[in-house]
Amino acid sequence: MFTFDTPLANIPSIKKLTLGKLQRLEIFSVRDMLYHFPHRYEDYTEIHPIDSLIPDEKCTLVGTVTDIKAGRTWKKKMLLTEATLVDESGQIRLIWFNQRFVAQTLKSDMQIRVSGKVSRDRDGLIMQNPAFERSERDATHTGRLVPVYPETSGLTSRFFRWQLTGIFQKLAQFPDPVPEEILDRLHLPSLKQALFYIHFPKSEKFALLARKRFAFDEMFFVQLKALQVKALFETARGNPLTCDETALKKFIATFPFTLTNAQKKASTEILADLKKTRPMNRLLNGDVGSGKTIVAAIAAFVAAENGLQTAILAPTEVLARQHFESLSKIFRETQHDITLFTGSYRIFGGTTVTRPTLLKAISAGIPKIIVGTHALLQNDVAFDNLALIVVDEQHRFGVSQRARLQELSYTSLDESKEIVPHFLSMTATPIPRTLTLAFFGNLDLSLLDELPKDRKPIITRIAASNSEREKTYALVRSEIAKGRQAFIIFPLVEESLALKEIKAAVAEHKRLEEEVFPHLKIGLLHGRLKAKEKEEVMRDFQEKKYDILVATAVVEVGINVPNASIIIIEEAERFGLAQLHQFRGRVGRAEHQSYCFLFPHQEAQSINERLKILEKTTNGFTIAEADLGIRGPGAFFGTRQSGMPDIAMENLTNMKLIQIAREEAKLILSEDALLVDHPLLKDALQKFEEQIHLE
């Protein structure tokens, strides 16, 4: 008998060679196999008589096999198996390509059930590569809702169906982490039922019921984790930070602009949090160009005025360097020095220093504001008196990572558990309110939904025709003649296509350089460049050594070039609206009128209708809501970035489900905060965290 933890290597029906293929799909145990869910079902429930068939119809047939022939095709030498299936009403030819087991399995006069798509060739009706099994057997591959799984080379859905059938027969127990009373209250199936329903549903209703159960599980675990972290912050002791109002006003007066009302409101909320003995736990959600860095700087200033340290974490070196440079300017007229600590850069006191030197200075509490990447989370980094952790670009971290960062701040990076640092996380991806509870249910929320008053709205246009493109290129030349700069963005969407698309970007860079803008200096930036090479290209662009920067999607965040006034986005339909809005935010960062041109690859009406939303509004929150409605939350965040499993992603806009999951999580934690009395749930929550960990 098997258990959930039985390694697949211990299952006799799985050959050693197959284990490596399963590992490509991250399937190692019986549990992994059971949670490898179908991504769709083929409906082969209806059994048709052969004389009623029409081409392009998907159906199931039952009959007797005759006239089996096996051989090879003349041209490509492919293995070919042909047979005739006969029922009371007529006969149809069946044909299989390169499926050796078919020729070995089929015998004349065998009664079989086949499912597939009917087509017609010059000799009449035919079924190519149909699934089949003996008609006296229970339906697994035919005659039912047939599950279709995510596959890899050498592993078909048929393999998964056979293996799962055996696992269900031999699995002794299905330990259910969700208490029975919750399942009864919500009319949800047991884990055993749900797993069987999702793999072998009798009807679509059963498949939906199973998905409902797993959607609840995943959201329940997310909310349990969020509420646990929130409880830690609510019971922890923070360092109350107050600041002399005169000093704060003097600091704000050095800014070369006036704070927006949204910045003032967010700063007031944050300063109120910092004064409390309970540590702050807040998300600053701001639109592109709304000035989150300034708000974070005000919080860091207050900590520094108290003689305490702030750690500001960014997901990439590029972004960390950007923050370092921005904050260095903001704090120029104060006595507080900004330090940079990443894998490649260590800057302290305005000069590059060795790692040991900077580690010693940080542990001595000398630099008060330390900007860095994940390098700041390494074990040998010790702070002297850390009061505030700021994490930028929340959407670049997974759910598990966000919780981990907060736990790190709870256990305190300076190894003092008595005082817990305040925690401020920031994101430039405007997150629709429908998603904030699911993703950030443990955080208080501050919104920056207002742009600085001196910013001119970016003019956005769709340029679908060749004549419109030529006009756009003419405007680029005109803007560069005035001393401005331009971005041209190419899609780089899937890792599997990365090399191909980088080649396309390189080729397009060459075409633009030689044919379109022969007298201009054009730089090239893509994801396969090393960090130092990216830095160099960006720095050269910032220093106006290039007039135009041709880039893939790596510029979505992290580049601040106030002099750039035009951005062209090629094949714009391949990006989501929220991502296009992020790209658009690379321009319009100074007083110059700026432009964004969307070049669709195709002139489809539906594409242009979607892109027109960007022509109509520059409000990131409105755009994010529209993007969510059009593409769904999985595409909005990207499953990889979100750290969410697929079923949870599908249900992120189901507010009723999220609220029910949150209420059930609250109820169970109110009675058993550490889940001591719910060991199965505690164990499942731990495994869930490990599953959704990204890096």
Q: What percent of the chain has pLDDT over 70?
A: 88
DSSP annotation of 529 reads S
Q: Name the amino acid, one letter, at 494.
A: E
Burial of 519 (0-12, 13-18, 19+ CB in 10 A): exposed
Mean pLDDT lowest for which of 36-45, 52-61, 64-73, 237-246?
A: 64-73
Does residue 139 lie within any of the structural domains?
Answer: yes
- Identify the burial level of 289 via C-beta atoms within 10 angstroms of its C-beta, where 0-12 means exposed, 13-18 middle and 19 or more buried: buried
Q: Are residues 20 and 65 in the same domain?
A: no
SS3 label, residue 512: helix
Question: What is the C-alpha separation between 678 and 50, in angstroms, rounded?
Answer: 56
What gap in Å lies between CA 361 and CA 368, rounded to an integer? 10
Domain co-membership, 421 together with 535: no
Q: Has residue 415 got a pLDDT over 70?
A: no
pLDDT at residue 641 in the model: 44
Residue 693 above 50 pLDDT?
no
Q: Say yes or no: 394 and 247 in one domain.
A: yes
Least confident range of 384-393, 507-516, 553-562? 553-562
Return the top range by mean pLDDT from 133-142, 181-190, 433-442.
181-190
Task: Assess whether 361 and 503 both reside in one domain.
Answer: no
Residue 429 belongs to domain spanning = 235-448
Count the domains in the chain: 4
Q: What is the mean pLDDT of residues 40-59?
A: 89
Residue 369: DSSP 8-state: E
How would residue 336 be classed by pLDDT, with cut points 50, 70 and 90? very high
Q: Which stretches within 309-426 are classed as H helix?
A: 317-330, 355-363, 399-411
pLDDT at res. 396:
57
Is residue 114 within 8 Å of 132, Cβ to Cβ? yes
Task: Report whether 282 contacts 389 (CB < 8 A).
Answer: no
Res. 495 pLDDT band, cuts 50 70 90 = very low
pLDDT band, residue 653 (cuts 50/70/90):
low
Residue 552's CATH number: 3.40.50.300
Tell which residue, 555, 609, 606, has the closest CA to residue 584: 555
The arithmetic mean of pLDDT across residues 266-291, rounded, is 90
Quote the distance between the C-alpha of residue 535 and its chain's center: 25
| Domain co-membership, 249 together with 371 | yes
Domain boundary among 617, 640, 668: 617
**Does pLDDT of 298 surpass 90?**
yes
646 domain-assigned = no
The position carrying tokens 């002139």 is: 603
Residue 298 half-sphere exposure toward CB, CA atoms < 13 A: 26
Between CA 42 and CA 158 the distance in angstroms is 13
| 395 and 416 assigned to the same domain | yes
Per-residue pLDDT band for 392 (boundaries 50, 70, 90) equals confident
Among candidates 612, 615, 637, which has minimal Cα distance to 624?
637
**What is the structure's pLDDT at 494?**
44
Domain-embedded: residue 283: yes
Q: Are 142 and 113 in contact (CB under 8 A)?
A: yes
Q: Specify whether the CB–CB gap between 489 and 552 falls below 8 A.
A: yes
Of the given ranges (39-53, 333-347, 398-412, 420-434), which has the lowest mean pLDDT? 398-412
pLDDT value of position 78: 81
> Would residue 182 count as lying in a domain?
no
Of the listed ranges 31-35, 52-56, 446-450, 481-485, the one predicted with least confidence? 446-450
Catalogue the E-assigned strands of 233-384: 281-286, 309-313, 338-341, 346-348, 351-352, 369-372
Which residue did the predictor score with more confidence, 304 or 508? Answer: 304
Contacts of 20 (CB under 8 A, 6+ apart): none
- Please choose, from the candidates 43, 44, 96, 99, the residue with its C-alpha nearest in 3D space to the C-alpha of residue 65: 96
How many CB atoms sit inside 10 A of residue 268's CB?
A: 12
Of the candidates 127, 128, 132, 99, the one whose C-alpha atom is nearest the C-alpha of residue 113 is: 132
Q: Distance from CA of residue 192 to its chain's centroid? A: 30
User: Is the CB of residue 667 less than 8 Å from the CB of residue 203?
Assistant: no
Q: Is residue 642 part of a domain?
A: no
Rounded to the nearest 5 degrees, what angle is found at the Cα of 357, between the Cα atoms of 530 and 422? Answer: 80
pLDDT on residue 464: 83
Top pLDDT among 347 and 138 is at 347
Look up residue 628 and give its amino acid: L
Q: How far is CA 120 from CA 52, 54, 93, 128, in A?
A: 14, 9, 10, 10
Question: Do 132 and 26 share a structural domain?
Answer: no
- Look at residue 649 in the predicted model and tell me its pLDDT: 59
Helix, strand, coil distribution of the chain in percent, nearest 5: 45, 20, 35
Range ranked top by mean pLDDT from 53-57, 523-527, 578-582: 53-57
Pick the last residue of a domain from 411, 427, 448: 448
In whole angstroms, give the CA distance from residue 632 to residue 629: 6
Both tokens of 179, joined, read: 């208490």
What percentage of the chain reaches a pLDDT higher than 90? Answer: 41
Same-domain check for residues 593 and 530 = yes
> Could you tell me which residues come within 8 angstroms of residue 165 by beta carbon, excluding any fewer than 6 positions away?
140, 200
Structure-token pair, residue 477: 């030349």
Reported as a pLDDT band with limits 50, 70 and 90, residue 602 is low
Dist CA 229 CA 266 (whole Å): 22
The packing angle between helices 261-274 and 292-305, to 10°, is 30
Report if residue 649 sits inside a domain: no
What pTM, to 2 d.p., does this model score? 0.71
Interval 465-481 mean pLDDT: 93
Taking residues 553-558, what's their average pLDDT? 60
Nearest to 302 by CA among 200, 398, 387: 387
Identify the residue with better confidence: 92 or 495: 92
What was the pLDDT predicted at 500? Answer: 60
Whether residue 552 sits in one domain with residue 490: yes
Q: Give the Cα separation of 382 and 162 in Å (integer).
A: 53
Same domain membership, residue 54 and residue 32: no
- Mean pLDDT of the chain, nearest integer: 85
Distance CA 581, CA 430 (A): 10
Evaluate whether 399 touches 644 at the Cβ level (below 8 Å): yes
Angstrom distance (rounded) from CA 234 to CA 227:
10
Distance CA(271)–CA(280), nearest Å, equals 9
Continuous segment of H or E residues that includes residue 349: none
For residue 409, the model assigns a pLDDT of 60
Residues 217-239 have a mean pLDDT of 85
CA–chain centroid gap for 354, Å, is: 35
Q: Which carries the bigger pLDDT value, residue 390 or residue 449?
A: 390
- 34 and 58 share one domain: no
Note the pLDDT of residue 695. 27
* Cβ 424 vs Cβ 206: under 8 Å: no
Q: What is the CATH number of the domain that holds 102?
A: 2.40.50.140
Q: How far apart are CA 160 and CA 257, in angstroms?
A: 62
pLDDT-based confidence at residue 127 (cuts at 50, 70, 90): very high
Residue 67 domain-assigned (yes or no): yes
Q: Which of 617, 637, 660 is the last residue of a domain?
A: 617
Residue 622 has what pLDDT? Answer: 84
Judged against a pLDDT cut of 60, whether residue 126 lies above it is answered with: yes
The verdict on residue 690 lying in a domain is no
Report residue 564: phi and psi, to 5°.
Answer: -75, 130
Q: How far, in Å, CA of 343 to CA of 283, rounded? A: 26
- Asked if 155 and 127 sit in the same domain, the reply is no
> What is the distance between the alpha carbons of residues 38 and 146, in angstroms, rounded to a whole number?
9
